[in-house]
Amino acid sequence: MIHQKSFPFRQLALWLGLVSSGLATAYVLFVGILSIWVGLNHLERVGYWVPILAGTFSSALILWLFVHLSRLLYGRMKQTDTLGL
């Protein structure tokens, strides 16, 4: 009887989740940096601080979420149990 290792769908799904969350994080960071740049270029306007604050808050929040999600996914990748998800 030949025993072959099955294709690691769980590993593939976790890597796919990590890569897609990284791409989403990069997109939100780009929009946040663009928002900060727009706010800094319009310092003479009345509400110039709103895009700066929004860009800073969204960038910090998405980085915090990405770090915690990547730790969770990477920890799940290192588990060797085959029955649990």
Q: Which 3-state string (H, E, C) describes 18-84?
A: HHHHHHHHHHHHHHHHHHHHHHHHCCCCCCCHHHHHHHHHHHHHHHHHHHHHHHHHHHHHHCCCCCC
Residue 53, classified by CB atoms within 10 Å of its CB into exposed (0-12), middle (13-18) or buried (19+), is middle
pTM here is: 0.79
Q: pLDDT tens for the chain, 85 residues: list them.
A: 566 666 678 888 899 999 999 999 999 999 999 999 999 999 999 999 999 999 999 999 999 999 999 999 988 888 765 555 5
Residue 36 near residue 55 (C-beta atoms within 8 A): yes
